[in-house]
Amino acid sequence: MELQGKRIVLGVTGGIAAYKAAELVRLLGKRGADVQVAMTEGATHFVTATTFQALSGQPVYLDQWDARMPNAMAHIDLSRSADLILVAPASADFLARIANGMADDLLATMVLARDCPLLVAPAMNRQMWENPATQRNVAQLLVDGVQLIGPDSGEQACGEVGAGRMVEPEEIVEEVIAFFTPKLLADRKVLMTAGPTFEAIDPVRGITNLSSGRMGYAVARAARQAGAEVTLVSGPVGLQAPQGVTRINVRSALDMQAAVMAHAATSDIFIGVAAVADYRVANAAEHKLKKDTGGIPPIELVENPDILAEVAALKDGPFCVGFAAESRNLEEYAQSKRRKKNIPLIAGNLIQEGFGGDDNRLVLFDDTGVHPLTPAPKSVLARQLVEHIANMIGRA
């Protein structure tokens, strides 16, 4: 569990997104964190302390003058024992107070007295977010070293649409994990492909590969959490881009090739996870093919370019990593692909074991031999792959 042994103070301030903080407590706990909740008075108008107490299994702190702390120093004691203070949702009022060093309630006092980092996830009406006063406060907080998560854009509780939505709890948890992840790929530019490609037969039909994109998206997230700047060239999948990852959406192998080649020369690492269709249709129809027009339409196939091999052939190109999904003879096929494409590392998996699901079994093949990873969730395997890549680059 990524947050095992981490002590996190979760500050909850007054805003409708406070109800999502309940889920946040649960998710942080699931990843192993020890969560201590402190609420502002405003937050208690949206969610009760009992909810947080039940979910965190710990008393919730509300009041500066709480008699439960043995020496009446709750603000010092709570913030000193924490590895991180996370405030989610952080209201406009709360940001204004901490940007000005105010200590007018327990949570603000803890923030001022802390000797650990502070992450805040703002949540407010879009006009309040855009107001120059809020922007000034946020700019000051960034200068002070506070890290911001979001806000997202979208539909708001007040019915308006714009920037100011709190980032979803699942993504906040990933940002917390990112915060604690060693920055093995700091300052590295990682370019990736993920998902399937779709090769049109006509405007509504096509040839594609079964690929959920989950493994690739997990690798993109792990690379970014390890400090890399990640560009993800993605075929059509039903997944959200991980926080902080730049996604370029493509459909066909030729689109994917163009997007990759536009960025390859300036990247340090290229990881091809996409299930690229081997062939595309040479005679794709402009209009929908109709039945009953005499015979079965002939579909002429031509070979697609091998994007990974093309990147690997670049002079002074990036460190290249491939994936091999096989239904049998994994080692033999993966190693021969690695040699044929001339890449230092390939991750192989048997398609019976990983397709579409959350878990996978990966075996890494490089010049030093075969490295089987223990079957695990794709997020865990992605982190191990990133570590392996960082080690190989470090040795090179």
Half-sphere exposure of 320 (CA within 13 A, CB side): 24
CB of 285 to ligand C5P, least distance (A): 23
Question: How far is Cα 330 from Cα 311, in angstroms, rounded to an integer?
Answer: 23
The answer to whether the Cα torsion of 395, 343, 256, 377 is positive or negative is negative
For ligand C5P, the closer CB: 268 or 310: 310
Marked catalytic residue, from 54, 133, 158, 161: 158
For ligand C5P, the closer CB: 13 or 234: 234
Whether 187 and 227 have beta carbons less than 8 Å apart is answered as yes
> Where on the chain is the footprint of ligand C5P (CB under 6 A)?
193, 253, 272-274, 276, 304-308, 322-324, 337
Rounded (5°) CA angle 349-350-356: 85
Write down the residue that tokens 């536009």 correspond to: 262
CB of 190 to ligand C5P, least distance (A): 14
CB of 395 to ligand C5P, least distance (A): 22
DSSP state of 12: E
Contacts of 58 (CB under 8 A, 6+ apart): 35, 36, 37
For ligand C5P, the closer CB: 225 or 304: 304
CB of 344 to ligand C5P, least distance (A): 13
Q: Beta strands 376-377 and 359-360: pairing type?
A: antiparallel
CB of 303 to ligand C5P, least distance (A): 8
CB of 374 to ligand C5P, least distance (A): 22
Question: How far is Cα 18 from Cα 251, in angstroms, rounded to an integer?
Answer: 39
The answer to whether the Cα torsion of 278, 284, 289, 293 is positive or negative is negative
Looking at residue 16, its amino acid is I
> Is position 158 annotated as part of the catalytic site?
yes
For ligand C5P, the closer CB: 135 or 336: 336
Quote the radius of gyration of the chain (alpha carbons, Å). Answer: 25
Cα distance between the two ends of the chain: 31
For ligand C5P, the closer CB: 176 or 277: 277
For ligand C5P, the closer CB: 228 or 307: 307
Active-site annotation, residues:
158
